[in-house]
Copies of this chain bind each other. A is one copy, B any other.
Amino acid sequence: MKTHKQYIHEQIKKEPKFAEALAKAEQEVGIAVELARLRESRGLSQTELAKLTGMKQPQIARLESGAHFPAFPTLQKLLGVLGGKLELTADACHLVPTRAKLASARR
């Protein structure tokens, strides 16, 4: 039986662009998933986070689904509530949870 890794490896051999696309996909998923994790670690629902940041729930969902990259000001709004630091390099991107200035304004 073929492993996932083996399969990926073959694809890359056949189609070099695959690697690029994969890396991009993983990055996007990366920040998306980390946003969700950070929010959950703070015990907030999407709706609550939305209220606290002045955004709407579907926008949070969109970001966490990796539909697109969050823009700079959006990230800062989120970080303001979630507490955390974004670290971005050429090939990786992650959110580091920092102070847990947790939302008093809960539901």
Question: Which residues in A have some Cβ–Cβ distance to B below 8 Å?
Answer: 27, 31, 69-73, 75-77, 79-80, 83-91, 93, 98
Q: Count this chain's copies in the assembly.
A: 2
Q: Which residue of B lies closest to A90 (CB)?
A: B80
Closest Cβ of chain B to A70, distance in Å, is 8
Q: Which 10 A-B pairs have the closest CB atoms?
A: A80-B90, A69-B72, A86-B88, A79-B90, A85-B89, A76-B90, A79-B89, A87-B87, A85-B87, A75-B88
Chain B residues with Cβ below 8 Å from A70 are 72
Please give me the residue from chain B that is nearest to A81 by CB atom. B90
Q: Give the residues in chain B near A89, CB-CB below 8 Å.
A: 76, 79, 84-86, 98
